[in-house]
Structure 1
Amino acid sequence: MTNSPLVNLRIYSPNHSGRRNQPITKIAIHHTAGAVSAETIGNIFKPRTRRASCNYGIGNDNKIVLCVDEKNRSWCTSSSWCDNRAVTIEVANSKNGGNWPISDRVLTTLIDLVTDICKRNGIKNCTYTGGKDGVLQKHEWYSNTNCPGPYLGSKFSYIASEVNKRLRGNKSVSKSKGELYRVRKSWSDVKSQKGAFKNLDNAKRCADRFGLKVFDENGKIIYPIGKTIDQLAREVIRGGWGNGEERKRRLTQAGYDYYAVQKRVNQIIQ
């Protein structure tokens, strides 16, 4: 069992259980809940008193740190069942708070790393099912936590799709083809377009400013996913998404920004 050749630095953590007792069939993607470098991720898990670790970390400097060899079970997902089967990855955010975003280049590096893990461990289909039966795993399924955060959590289907393209021999990630994200009222309403952006975060900000949507080059709505924040907020008020943790879970699993929706709910009912 080998480690990824994509690693830029090694800062080993003593916090692991030694040899895992299951073959690698899962990949658990976490977020650091902070905009930190790869070196900082390594140093966070270095003290024994931390009692936590990960196999890999990707910093907001776009470097990959190895903290625990893949052959060993890290202490990352609050689950012996998951951590024995999963290579665990901590991903740094591009800024703190909000929907805890990560940068586009870090997302691309994450896809590179997940693809490499799949190839070396014989995972021929990187699945995301929204449940524990898939390859990609979320910390929030095993513990009362918001990890991997709303933004990264909404990207799991995309990550699986892009990894599988590479596993099938197509090595290019969609965004590397120079894809433009178009901000319009509808795909057919070309005149309503406010801009075309290479950076998805910029496209989202434009869409939020003008109350529009972001479309990919095939006319698929990228943001908001399916419905606007206002539509979702009114559905929440009508009881359509449940309450408390159930509401957070359902909105997040559907790919929506729970915090943005809840903020709009609060504004409407005030």
Structure 2
Amino acid sequence: MALTGKSIEEKIYNFLYGRIKNAFGVSGLMGNLFAESGLVPTNLQNSFEKKLGYTDDTYTTSVDNGDYTNFVHDSAGYGLAQWTYWSRKENLLLFVRSRNQSIGDLESQLEFLYQELSTGYKAVLTKLKAAKSVREASDIVLTQYERPADQSESVKKKRASYGQKYFDKYAKTTGGKSSMGKTITTGFISATINGINVDSSIKCNADNYNSNASRNAAFVAMHYTGNSKDTARANANYFAGAGRNASAHFFVDDTEIRQSVALKDTAWGVGAKSYKHASCRNANCVNIEMCCTAGNYRISDKTKENAAYLCAYICNLLGITAAEVDTYVLRHYDVTGKNCPAQMAGSGNAEWAAFKARVKEILNGGASSGNSGSSSGTNGSFPATPFQVKVLVSDLNIRSNPSMGNNVKGQTGKGVFTITEVNDGWGKLKSGAGWIYLENKEYVTVLGSSSGSSQPAAPAKKSVEEVAKEVLMGDWGNGADRKKRLEAAGYNYAQVQAAVNRLCK
């Protein structure tokens, strides 16, 4: 069946929508394909062009006419999805040849991609068909289908932003509504934040906000109430009345945090006829109002501290890291230009810089007061080195130094690891592979002291044959990244690869 559309991207969208029937799923998938190949079906991985001495076109032609015979085993990413692992490249080659088409044929690659999803990645396809946001679909493709070494929050947001462009451009023809950020289905939170129980007993009048079953939020917008002196309770009471034409999710003062609007609903806090900010709007942000508790239209230090803790709590909910606060935590001033919060408005405002620094500090664990609710807790103290930890997730990043940033070397996989040094919540792997973050209990359990150098850094928990099967399913990545991850997890790379070769015979 011939592809339909005026451009390559439109043809890809129409083909995928015809199979997946979900604009969110299609757009999230396309955003990842764009990140991998720019939606160019003949794309040869850039780093291999010089190494192999080919361009996209000459590589494709040489594979097609048989002059180049190492397509399957050269480890070069190729095509829409940058297929890299030898068995997937072999399957692609056999598939297109069965259709008497070029290896770079767009329609053949799309058919092969869907065949992969329908057979080896059924769970991914099911989730794409049911996705309720571009971000949800994009994360699924990134972490369960493409599986690059860097799956950080910044990468997730970047790929979702690519997908959002396709959604905004094409979804109107196939149904759906625009979305961005993380899907929120939470209503009123039950949490203790900086020692204060969040109170939602006084709710906003339905006349003052938009009700949703769910929505997608990416930003936090900070405000001040602009009164001579007021309280969170007084503001909650005011917006419980009809006809206010405005609202906020939260009001904060020295002693109370009041939630007025459910997080899944759209508060009217940053609406305007024109905007300074490119993408923050009422629909995709959480609005927090700081009360003028100090009098004379000013916010007290205690209110700012409570607001910083609340802001950090919402950041955790939305997946905003400390490194991303400057991008996703905004003032009303940043969104529309309104002088709000007045004492924090304007460029280069030191008070606003201090507020954001406090939010970052709390997100990084520099918080003395315990918050409870959605948090699972942290590992706050560690035994003397060397000691062992159990990694509970398959994709914990290994970094070249003990800090966040663009320094990901690979991922651990699940298993037990020996830590030889601790630096600010980061643990150095005995294997020498790098550093892992130890403080998140959802990712890591501290087991206790190691008995010494005779213990391997990561004792293997599965047989070599079991791991080889996981390799064939794509669970351990490709090339040098796979080798690093296997060795970091305590497996002998040569033994695993030999088992893989046996299984493929």
Aligned residue number for residue 124 of structure 1 = 321
> For residues 13-64 of structure 1, what are the alpha-carbon distances to aligned partners after superposition, in whole Å with 9 as ceiling and x for unaligned?
12111228752211101000122111111012112211111000013x4201
Kept in 1: contact 2:322–2:364 (CA 8 A): no
Relative contact order higher in (CA < 8 Å, ≥ 6 apart): 1
Distance 2:342 2:222 in 1: 10
Aligned residue number for residue 210 of structure 2 = 17
Shift of 1:154: 4.4
Q: 1:84 to 1:41 in 2, by over 3 A?
A: same
Counterparts of 1:1-270 in structure 2, within 5 Å, are: 1-2=185-186, 3-4=188-189, 5-6=191-192, 7-13=198-204, 14=206, 15-19=208-212, 22-34=215-227, 35-59=229-253, 61-79=254-272, 81-97=280-296, 100-125=297-322, 127=324, 129=326, 134-143=327-336, 145-151=338-344, 154-172=350-368
Shift of 1:144: 5.8
One-letter amino acid of the structure 2 residue matched with residue 93 of structure 1: C
One-letter amino acid of the structure 1 residue matched with residue 329 of structure 2: L
Shift of 1:122: 1.6
**Normalising to structure 1: TM-score of the pair?**
0.54
Q: 1:82 to 1:21 in 2, by over 3 A?
A: farther
Kept in 1: contact 2:210–2:266 (CA 8 A): yes
Report sequence identity in percent. Answer: 23
Aligned residue number for residue 197 of structure 1 = none
**Normalising to structure 2: TM-score of the pair?**
0.30
Distance 1:111 1:40 in 2: 21
One-letter amino acid of the structure 1 residue matched with residue 256 of structure 2: K
Shift of 1:118: 1.2
Kept in 1: contact 2:344–2:352 (CA 8 A): no
One-letter amino acid of the structure 1 residue matched with residue 362 of structure 2: R
* Structure (1 or 2) with the larger CA radius of gyration: 2
Kept in 1: contact 2:230–2:292 (CA 8 A): yes
5+ residue gaps, structure 1: 174-270
SS in 2 for 1:50: coil
Q: 1:82 to 1:37 in 2, by over 3 A?
A: same
Query: Matched residue pairs, number?
Result: 166
Distance 1:68 1:39 in 2: 14
SS in 2 for 1:160: helix
Kept in 1: contact 2:270–2:332 (CA 8 A): yes
Distance 1:137 1:85 in 2: 12
SS in 1 for 2:243: helix
Kept in 2: contact 1:126–1:163 (CA 8 A): no
SS in 2 for 1:164: helix
Aligned residue number for residue 221 of structure 1 = none
What value does the CA root-mean-square deviation take over the aligned residues?
2.6
